[in-house]
Amino acid sequence: MAIRVVLVFILLLIPLSIGFTEEMQSPVVITSKTLSADNKEKTALFEGSVVAKRGDTTLYADIMKVYYAEEGPVSKIKKIEAEGNVRLVKKRAILTAQKAVYVIEPEENIVFTGQPRASDGENIITGSRITYFVKDERSVVEDSKVFITTGKGKGLKNQ
């Protein structure tokens, strides 16, 4: 049985905000079955049942690769690539996909591909690509299909 690796990034690999500014001061905790760090390349590869958690936001994946840069005595996340059974959960909102790429600059965003599907309760949005712009708290869905519940079991469907 593989030993579970627990890595706490308290202000070291920040921000993994995943779009929620109230959580910016919370530590990021990433757990996985294995962790391979490459200080020369400035990457960390988490494999096997990866869970990244900050506050009430949790990102799950089979594999997660974190790219970082050293800025003085602190390291800062530049990009995160999550692959395989990707699931982002915040309260009752859930976004699933096969791949997610989170970039900090030039404009902080997360791009979900591989059959992305967002749900909030009974409301569902799917598309070929969902891009979430973190600071603006807005999304762009390409090739969208929407199911919105209007109450009493009736809904609107856009195909």
How many distinct structural domains can be found in the chain?
1
Do 97 and 112 meet the contact criterion of CB atoms below 8 Å apart?
Answer: yes
Read off the pTM: 0.75
Q: Which tokens is 152 given?
A: 């009493």
| In 55-106, beta strands by DSSP E | 57-71, 74-90, 93-103
From first to last of its 159 residues, what are the pLDDT tens digits of the chain? 233 333 322 222 333 334 444 445 577 788 999 999 998 999 999 999 999 887 888 999 999 999 988 877 777 888 999 999 999 998 888 999 999 998 888 888 899 999 999 998 888 999 999 998 878 878 899 998 888 876 555 444 444
Domain that holds residue 29: 5-158
Instruction: Tell me the per-residue pLDDT of 37-62, one tens digit each, with 9 for 90 and over.
Output: 998 999 999 999 999 887 888 999 99
* Distance, C-alpha 78 to centroid of its chain: 14
Do 51 and 31 meet the contact criterion of CB atoms below 8 Å apart?
Answer: yes
CATH code assigned at 143: 2.60.450.10
8 burial (CB, 10 Å; 0-12 / 13-18 / 19+) is exposed
- The alpha-carbon radius of gyration of the chain (Å, integer) is 17
112 burial (CB, 10 Å; 0-12 / 13-18 / 19+) is buried
